[in-house]
Amino acid sequence: MNFRKISFLSLLLAFVFVIQIAGISMIHLPYGGIPLYLITLVILISLQNGADCLIIGFVGGFIYDLNPSITSPMGEWALIFTIVGALYMNYKPVLVDILDRPILALFIYSFTLIVVLSIFEIFSAIFGGI
């Protein structure tokens, strides 16, 4: 992965993060609203190849750790999305035709968000956040 691609994806994630914090989170929706940043990050991780999944997962998790409304320790989301990037990196050959089947992609993204939030709950319990 070259520096230009990392920079572009980091700026894209920062832009989506600002939209999430400044716009979407200000609208009072049930269950905390739409996790636009989490959805964008999972999709970007799934579209990368090899070690790029790890890099984007770490950078995206670090950006999400800057959220002022999160009470978790700094670095928890970076760790979680690095783990998710490692899972995508290892199981990418199984998910090769993810772009050819949009319904399957929807289920995989939904399942990945469930895994991300489950890992967050486990780490929160370990770190004493619950």
Which of 30-34, 67-71, 73-77, 82-86 has the weakest average pLDDT?
30-34
Can you count the helices (H) and strands (E) in the chain? 5, 0
Task: Name the band, by pLDDT with cuts 50, 70 and 90, for residue 43.
Answer: confident
CA-CA distance, 115 to 110, in Å (whole number)?
A: 9
Do residues 54 and 85 make contact, with C-beta atoms less than 8 angstroms apart? yes
Higher pLDDT, 19 or 101: 19
pTM for the predicted model, two decimal places:
0.82
User: What are the domain boundaries of the chain?
Assistant: 3-127
Q: What is the pLDDT of residue 67?
A: 85
Residue 107 burial (CB count, 10 A): 11
Per residue in 98-113, pLDDT tens?
A: 667 778 878 888 888 8
